[in-house]
Amino acid sequence: MEIVVDRANRLLHVHLSGFKSTVSLSAGFPVFHYASGPKPSRAVSLGCLWSIPGSNFAKQATWNTDGSVSVIGGMEFNDRCLHTPRTLPIPAGVTFA
């Protein structure tokens, strides 16, 4: 489970895990909290990272300045989120500490 910052090619390689919601939520919430590693200078949209089987829904994510990754939008109890690895460009103006 990682986000690899490829500074030379200005790419992010996002490899997170799937998870199952244990509560119902109506707003975004952090699902991964990193204690170490790179942190973006501003929030970075990671796009659709998880699909929910048996539905027509996918969940988007944001990589926050504290290093956490948040799911955007609500979830229902027992929603199972399957991750799809992604590679995306580093947004202009974003640096990493």
pLDDT number for residue 55: 81
Give 39-52 pLDDT, tens digit per residue: 999 999 999 999 98
- What pLDDT is recorded for position 61? 94
Q: Are 62 and 72 in contact (CB under 8 A)?
A: yes
**Percentage of residues of the chain with pLDDT beyond 90:** 68
Question: What CATH number was assigned to the domain covering residues 2-89?
Answer: 2.60.40
Residue-wise pLDDT for 51-85, tens only, equals: 988 888 889 999 999 999 999 988 889 999 999 89
Structural domain boundaries in the chain: 2-89
- 36 or 41: which carries more pLDDT confidence? 41
